[in-house]
Structure 1
């Protein structure tokens, strides 16, 4: 075999991590440095033998790609992406460039708000992704959320009613309350802590602190 040549992978399906984020990556927009970093991430994750098998290239070719002696072809980058989680890709390529290659950040550094809104709309359908969004918002925009909550929730007082009880039994996406015993427990807890109180940012923080504690 001539050093630097690629190995045919016909009939061989590389192991892929489930996920559709790779389809949005514009490989051609990735810099040479990011391409090498992506290959290095695969090599570190799978080892030399695993990386060579997954990428379908020789050891000499991978060495030349990593050293910068040869440019990393788009097809090799695509195979490499198939071995990485999205977080690993963002870490390897650098968040700004990775998001740029996915279309979120334009060449001038501005944000594609339309694409971002669509991505958030899709992510909001997934419970885990929705929780990540909320946790990020609370962690980074606490004061803004307080002001928004103070406006939108002004004058709202909490009362237990049949509608809330029905929500606990059937409306919750996770951990639905099925038994009368648990309903009584939550009703008593609500009566002690929340009944008749005004919904404020301070109350939300109090409940969150109790839950985290």
Structure 2
């Protein structure tokens, strides 16, 4: 069988895709093992930070899981090329740890599950990198502005301090985790704004 000469596979894309499949596989296993998440999920773990770190892989329902994995897929396929492959996994890990920290010490919750908070953080960082690329290479930025306005509108609508119940996902929606994720993303963007740091973390921008 002949091969195409001088062909280089987009390793960054495949690395990010592999990570998406890994997160999805772990989340599906966790859902099968624990079933729908609830306040008692993993309550044998004394540290709320450690418990909330792990319960981000457990969801209220299979619909909740599907929605979050779809969101992660959009980020993976749409933005993974903006970040070096070695740091894409780092961003995911950082977002999980930050959201657990935020809902433990900054805006405490009684319990939490799902990937949505971490996805908010990743989206803010990826959006900032996309804006940077559009400026550098002269791409149209209006789709990015629409996404930014949509995110801001969503966060404003979620300023209600109480948790809202969404029947489609099977339970309450933790707005605090969304706010915390977006704030964490903003902090990362501020750090990346330092030219030397951006040069190290960014990719083809």
Scaled by the length of structure 1, what TM-score is found? 0.20
TM-score by length of 2: 0.20
